[in-house]
Structure 1
Amino acid sequence: MSKGTKTWNMVRVDGSDAYATTDIVAEEFPLTIMINGQEFATMVCTPDHLEELVIGFLATEGAIYTIKEIEQLSIDEERGFAYVETSRPIPVGESEQKRWIGSCCGKSRAFYFQNDAKTARTVMNQFTLSPESCMQLMESFHENAHTFQRTGGVHQAAIASDGEIEIQFSDIGRHNALDKLYGHVIKNGGRKKNHVIIFSGRISSEVLLKVSKMGIGCLLSKSAPTDLALQLAEDLNITAVGFIRGGRMNVYTHPERIELKEKDDTVTPNREEFN
């Protein structure tokens, strides 16, 4: 059994028949991050690529900006703790209440936006890619979603350049999957000019902000965006592409990065066609 999944005994019902069998389910793992001996946060995640997750999460929170600020990082998987020592003091917060970050909805909006002003960035890089490349990347993305194919219970995020996926992560939390990507980028010397992020979930404002913090100018998703996410994408110079499926896609913001051949007649898309 691969890491991040478990086998569970169950009863399957098929019409009027029922029989005992097993299923593969996604593993849910609580991880507490300690910074300089103080508890920073506890999150629920998939227990793989935990080092990338911790680094990406700390960068997203504005606790670190470069890998050089981490003097030591160790993971105790048996106890569910990550121990981080940094080169400068990190304020953990005045509240005595511990912060629990769930696998579904992430942090509360009040806590999330406290860090955006200092970590979100306007993306300045310019590059182009073809619609065919977007669709091919999404096809490869689905083919590589092995944990999702086995469990149906995780989100996926990948980073690509030059038409090829460099690395792909899965996690029960959509924010965690993106944080693993961010951690990978920081560990490996930063982003490339033509990096593209591919994501399995909807394009929400929180997801868009994570992409901006990575400094990546294009986000591809098979799902729908929200209006606030698109407003942020416009302001932060990010190309947001949604509903990439069935040979079609919607370019919502900054279409100059997509090599488009416009038609004179425009048709409002029928959302039912994407369901």
Structure 2
Amino acid sequence: MGENIVDSWNIQKYHRGTYMEIEDEIAIEFALTVVIQGEEYATMICSPSALEELVIGFLASEALIRSYEDIQYIQLDSESGFAYVELFTDLPERSYGRTKRFIGSCCGKSREFYFDQDVKTAKTIMKKHVLSVQQVFTLMDTFQQHSEDFKRTGGVHQAALANRNELLYKAVDIGRHNALDKVYGYLLKNQISRREKQIVFSGRISSEVLVKVSKIGIGTLLSPSAPTDLALRLAEDLNITTVGFIRQNRLNVYTGQSYIQEEPPLIDIR
């Protein structure tokens, strides 16, 4: 990515009965205000990396765009912390507040969403693919081996877009949703097919994370951490395979069990 998201800070560290003065590495926190059609739409607290991908993914998550071609231009002013966006269509009226609880229905099943944008953009995954257990372990091992910023600071989240055998793009951010939006933005900007792709994620599988993955339109979510019950109910509803606690040759398949097999079949289950 090329951008620096880590700063240094002089601290006193206590270890085994001894104080020492050292220089520690701290994750940078950055405020980015998104201005759309001249209107300040939102301010995101994020890491100052992959900001264009973040803005694109955010616009898609907010149901303001469907594809990268819906954007007329994006101008980033990282010095002042503003992103200026012009769309080819006007901003829709926001009839619901961003914190209003909203109950929606889709594909004949009731779902409980927190924001009206989720109802507009959450997708039921119609086509899925099978991964072998070994492919899951390999992807997670690669993901964790490339966790330099987390190892340096302990203060960031990671999300990656992967095919069956390798990571295609990895995003880092202090915000877990921002990391996923960066992946979403990268996918849209580069017109990458969602077919046979998965999201590898560093954090807990919450309902918010699960909905974000469904918005991206990818049907498999891999994590070294735990899920919540609402996330799993949504995963079943949205037809997303969730695999958690991927650690040291162990894993739990919570939903979509038929899509994680000891050995991949010759023909995928569709």
Per the alignment, in what secondary structure is the counterpart of residue 167 of structure 2? Answer: strand
Q: 1:8 — aligned with what? A: 9
Q: Cα–Cα, structure 1 residues 242 and 55, in superposed 2: closer, same or farther, change >3 Å? A: same
Q: Cα–Cα, structure 1 residues 131 and 109, in superposed 2: closer, same or farther, change >3 Å? A: farther
Q: 2:174 — aligned with what? A: 172
Per the alignment, in what secondary structure is the counterpart of residue 66 of structure 2? Answer: coil
- The answer (yes or no) to whether the contact 1:191–1:214 under 8 Å persists in 2 is no
Structure with the higher strand share, 1 or 2: 2
- The answer (yes or no) to whether the contact 2:198–2:220 under 8 Å persists in 1 is yes
Superposition TM-score, scaled by structure 2 size: 0.88
Per the alignment, in what secondary structure is the counterpart of residue 233 of structure 1? Answer: helix
Q: 1:253 — aligned with what? A: 255
Runs of 4+ in 1 over 6 A off after TM superposition: none
Q: 1:110 — aligned with what? A: 101
Distance (whole Å) between structure 2 residues aligned to residue 252 and residue 14 of structure 1: 40
Q: 1:103 — aligned with what? A: none
Q: 1:271 — aligned with what? A: none
Deviation at 1:19, TM superposition (A): 2.2
Deviation at 1:109, TM superposition (A): 6.6
Superposition TM-score, scaled by structure 1 size: 0.87
Q: 2:90 — aligned with what? A: 89
Q: How does 1:29-68 map to 2 (within 5 A)?
A: 29-68=30-69
Per the alignment, in what secondary structure is the counterpart of residue 188 of structure 2? Answer: helix
Q: 1:130 — aligned with what? A: 132
Q: 2:147 — aligned with what? A: 145
Distance (whole Å) between structure 2 residues aligned to residue 32 and residue 56 of structure 1: 14
Q: Cα–Cα, structure 1 residues 259 and 57, in superposed 2: closer, same or farther, change >3 Å? A: same
Deviation at 1:228, TM superposition (A): 0.8
Q: How does 1:185-200 map to 2 (within 5 A)?
A: 185-200=187-202
Cα RMSD of the aligned pairs, angstroms, is 1.9
Q: Which amino acid aligns with 2:85?
A: V
Q: Which residue of 203, 206, 209 corresponds with 2:205?
A: 203
Per the alignment, in what secondary structure is the counterpart of residue 60 of structure 2? Answer: helix
Q: Which amino acid aligns with 1:6?
A: D
Q: 2:160 — aligned with what? A: 158
Structure 1 unaligned blocks of 5 or more = 100-106, 262-275
Q: Cα–Cα, structure 1 residues 147 and 108, in superposed 2: closer, same or farther, change >3 Å? A: farther
Q: Cα–Cα, structure 1 residues 108 and 224, in superposed 2: closer, same or farther, change >3 Å? A: farther
Q: Cα–Cα, structure 1 residues 94 and 256, in superposed 2: closer, same or farther, change >3 Å? A: closer
The percent of aligned pairs where both chains have the same amino acid is 50
